[in-house]
Amino acid sequence: LQRLVSESAGQRREQFVVLLSHTFPTNDSLAAFVHSVDRIVNIADLENFKAVLRRGVTEHREMYHFFQSTLKTVQAM
């Protein structure tokens, strides 16, 4: 995780990082933020990993789509 935190913001926005945890509940947004990951999946929920991952990646793409298009427009000016 330390390596991920040290990456540039541009690189980080293009990645989707999942933390597997025995401690944190699946989809714990606050813990994900604190650990600089996009999604947390509890080990006990691994049977739902595919659905959690699919939803997380979709939300990630939707969130950054507008940001990326705006960034490209500004950079073209």
**Residue pLDDT, tens place only, 31-77:** 999 998 999 999 999 999 999 999 999 999 998 888 888 888 888 88
Range of the domain at 11: 2-76
- Entry pTM: 0.77
Query: In the predicted model, is pLDDT for residue 5 greater than 80?
Result: no
The pLDDT value recorded for residue 11 is: 77
Rounded to whole angstroms, the Cα distance separating 39 from 56 reads 7
Q: What is the pLDDT of residue 58?
A: 95
Over residues 9-31, the pLDDT tens digits come to 777 778 899 999 999 999 999 99
Look at the chain and report how many structural domains it folds into.
Answer: 1
